[in-house]
Each structure stands twice: as C-alpha cells, then as structure tokens.
Structure 1
Amino acid sequence: MPSDMPKSYETECASCHMPYPPGLLGEQTWQNIMSGLSKHFGADASMDDKEKKEISAWLRKNAATKQKYNVLAPDNRITKTPWFIREHDEIKADVWKRVGIKSPANCGACHVNATEGIFSEKSISIPTK
C-alpha cells in the first residue's frame, strides 16, 4: 500500500471493505468508481467533496500503470479484470462461497497481507470452511 494513503481512504472506504491498493486498477476505473459513489455496488458511499477530491487524487496518483492491471475493469470490479480471473482460475466456485471467504472481493480472506498490498503466493491461506 502506498505510504501516502490519506486517512480519509481508511475512514471512508476501508470502513466497509478492505482498503484495495490503488495499483490493482487503472486510473479510468478509479475515476468511474469515485464518480458513482451514490450507487457503489448496491450501497450509497457518498462522501463530502473534500474527502472525495483527496481520495480521488490519491487513487489517480497511485493507479496501475503496468498494462496487466491498467485495463478498464468490467463493472468497475477488480474481480472481473482479466488478470484477476487468470490469477484465480484454479479456484473452484464453491470455494468462494465458504463462510470464511464469502466472495472473490474479500481478498483478505486468503491473502493474509492484503491490507498491506501484499498478494504473494507465499502468504496465502485459504479458509477450509
């Protein structure tokens, strides 16, 4: 995770889900997400303009630049990007439904250092239930 993460990203975004590292998505996808906060994956994640500008600027600054990650994410979802699907293609559908995981978007369920932005295969522990 970039060391310059604004406190507002933690309080506004990470209060509902893990703080996704901005390098997992390209700038355009982050702009799409931030412009649609009133309908953010089924929830109203609206915030005041100051925080929205601060978070948006930080996400743009730290967005993916490598072509692998810098693709327009379908439905603005990390889990629908080609790289995510390729990296997780061995995971069977029933695994995602386990109580300890719940969905592919719950990175921290298997990637024990996900909140630090570390997704090394050495630090994976897939819940059995």
Structure 2
Amino acid sequence: MSPLPNYRPKQLSLGPLETEILNIVWELDRVTVKDVHDRILADPDRELAYTSVTTVLRRLTEKGWLACDKQERVFYWRPLVTKEQAQVIEAHEKLHRFLAVGNPDVVAAFADSLDRTSLEQLDAIAKRIQAARQQREEK
C-alpha cells in the first residue's frame, strides 16, 4: 500500500452521487460537465440534470477532491488525489477512529475474530511498524 499522501482533501465525507462522479473523474482523468453527464446517462435507467452534475463537480472542488481549470470557454475538472491515495487516506481515517475507542479489550476482541490470513497480514503490519520505530530511534 502507498504511504499516506501529503495532500488531503479538506472534507473527506462524500455522498453517493459525489462518489459516483469522483469515480468517473478518476476513470477519465480530466473531464467536462458534458463528459460526466454523458457517462451517467449512458445508463438508460438513469436521469440526472446537467446542472446537478455541475453542482456536484463544484462541490467536489470546494471539498478539495478536484481542481478546475478553464481553457478558453470550457471548464475542465481533474482529481487532486488518485483513487489509490484516497483509499490510503480512508484506511488511515478508519484506523484512527477505531483506535480512538481507546479500549484495549475492544481491539483485542477484534483481533480474536480474525481468520488465519488476516492474522498473517497483522503480523506483517506489526513487523513494518517495528521497522518504522527502529528507523525513528536511529535518527
């Protein structure tokens, strides 16, 4: 997994339509409102106003997920973090919320419920944590 990126969006929580549109932006890399609108309407069972797509793209920009550039008279949106970076940020946030519980019994109960493969992953994580701690002590 990638390291935690230096840049993080201002607001991490996203609604379902924001998530859907962000996934389209990640897939296409650089989009116009029309690109996103056409992609959503490719599903014959979907309806969505063009202005709604514009609103969501602007909202994603305000939240720090996208940047908007204007070329001549056309606005283009591009992601400020990759999908992989977003997954790392999300995992980091979930881990911090889990550890914020602060009750060792809760963490231990979680560990007790893991299967063999998960336990092997935890062992690998523990080794990486130990290596990171040793690096910090050596500095």
TM-score by length of 2: 0.29
More helix by proportion, 1 or 2? 2
More strand by proportion, 1 or 2? 2
Between structure 1 and structure 2, the one with the greater Rg is 2
